[in-house]
Amino acid sequence: MIRTPFSSLYCFAVNELKNINRVRLVSRDPSYKVILIPTYRCGLKCSFCFIQGLERQFPGDMSVDDLRYFIDWLTANRLRTFLVSGGEPAEYVHFPELMRLLDEHAMEIVLASNGLFGQDTSRLFSRKAVRFFLLNYNKEEFTRDQYQRFVANVRELRGRGFPVGLKLNVYKAQIDREILAVAAQFRCSIYMALSCPGYEANTHVSRERLAALSPAIVSFVRECKHRGVVTNFSRPILRCAFSKEDIHFLKPSAVRYRCNPIPVVNPDLSVFSCLNVFKPYGPLKAFPHLKAIRSAIQPYFNHLRQKPLFDHCVQCPLHRSEKCQGGCLAYKQEASDRPVMHV
Ligand code: SF4
Ligand code: SF4
């Protein structure tokens, strides 16, 4: 196609609009408003895992009674969809009961998994109950057998008509390109998440290194576009880590500079602000409705947003106008707000 000023302007406008829509779907108004973590156990133990340490904090899985309470709480709040994460949800001892309750209450989930579940678990998935699979692509930490199982599971899920996204943790400049082949072959989208500080302050990418990963991200998105693979950012990015041209190029990959917290319900029904900011807010039973949780979380998120990520952010108009919060707020969470806690 010959590029004219008009066609370039048209592409630009289309990408901007698509980006706005994806930001809405991924961040501003996602289908799920709450995240359930029924277990923090996971057999895989990835080195970059941000929940390391929480499996000791929450050694037990969610009880069936608490699971039922959670489902009833959702029903009272007229919420039909939630995200299930972990730990590895498929290792949850009451996973079959969870699937049964979804059926009984006509609810659906987005399932974030390491993708290594066996046939017995896979048989429990129904198209009505699982709206979307988000599978953590982690070839470097898989054994050969695990990788084969992961790919076989993607193939099977796609064959059964499930939409599948592959989550890519970006923590170094050499991004494994094999994920692209899997995504292209099975028509999966890719969700890029820059690795951020975990519960035990285990940081794979220091804040100083965040900008250094930008060229690798741009080049990866370029290859994805070339192969027709859709990419999305799971978290906000730093505006200043990319040139203006790069930002235009990265769209429509849900490019944004602020996030909206989605509260997490832990195995003991206690509540955290979001998946990476582990500030506890007491038991779910203390909150009659979702709005009350959001109101409790908001002041702390506002406080974190106002903290500069770098000293030079203070001079940045995007910081002063609160348009850029400096990536994931996990980088600014105080150690004292990750307390050892029991409900
Ligand atoms: S607020 Fe900070 S991180 Fe964001 S664009 Fe400005 S200088 Fe960069
Ligand atoms: S603080 Fe980080 S993990 Fe939490 S909602 Fe924002 S970007 Fe997502």
Nearest Cα to Cα of residue 29 among 260, 297, 230: 260
Ranges of each domain in the chain: 5-337
Cis peptide before 87 (omega within 30 of 0): yes
Confidence of residue 343 (pLDDT cuts 50, 70, 90): very low
Between CA 59 and CA 258 the distance in angstroms is 33
Q: What is the pLDDT of residue 63?
A: 98
The pLDDT of residue 101: 98
Residues found in the chain: 343
CA of 4 to the centre of ligand 2 (A): 40
Residues with CB under 6 Å of ligand 1 are 238-240, 309-310, 312-313, 316, 318-319, 324, 326
User: For residue 274, is pLDDT > 50?
Assistant: yes
From atom 5 of ligand 2, which residue's Cα is the shortest distance away?
261
Q: Which residues of 250-288 are buried (b: 16+ CB within 10 A; e: fewer)?
A: bbbbbbbbbbbbbbbbbbbbbbbbbbbbbbbbebbeebe
Whose Cα sits closest to atom 3 in ligand 1? 326
The predicted model gives 277-305 an average pLDDT of: 96
What is the per-residue pLDDT across 74-122, written as a single tens digit (0 to 9) for each? 999 999 999 999 999 999 999 999 999 999 999 999 999 999 999 999 9
Q: How much distance in Å is there from the Cα of 291 to the middle of ligand 1?
A: 30
pLDDT confidence of residue 258: 96
- Strand runs labelled E in the chain: 35-36, 81-84, 108-113, 130-137, 164-170, 189-194, 231-233, 264-265, 270-272, 280-283
3-class secondary structure, 32: coil
Give the CATH H-level superfamily of domain 5-337. Aldolase class I (3.20.20.70)
pLDDT of residue 57: 92
Give the pLDDT score at 198. 87
pLDDT tens, position by position, 139-198: 988 999 999 999 999 999 999 999 999 999 998 889 989 999 999 999 999 999 988 888
pLDDT tens-digit readout, 238-267:
999 999 999 999 999 999 999 999 999 999
259 C-beta closer than 6 A to ligand 2:
yes
Q: Is 195 in the pocket of ligand 2 (CB under 6 A)?
A: no
Convert the pLDDT of each residue in 216-228 to its tens digit: 999 999 999 999 9
Write down the mean pLDDT value for the chain. Answer: 94
CB 88 within 8 A of CB 114: yes
**Does 238 contact ligand 2 (Cβ within 6 A)?**
no
Strand, coil or helix: 56: helix
Residue 294 scores a pLDDT above 90:
yes
Quote the tokens at residue 299: 């002041």
Task: Give the ligand with the smallest distance to the CA of 207.
Answer: 1
Residue 215 Cα to ligand 1 midpoint, Å, equals: 17
CA separation for the pair 129, 81 (Å, rounded): 9
pLDDT for position 1? 57
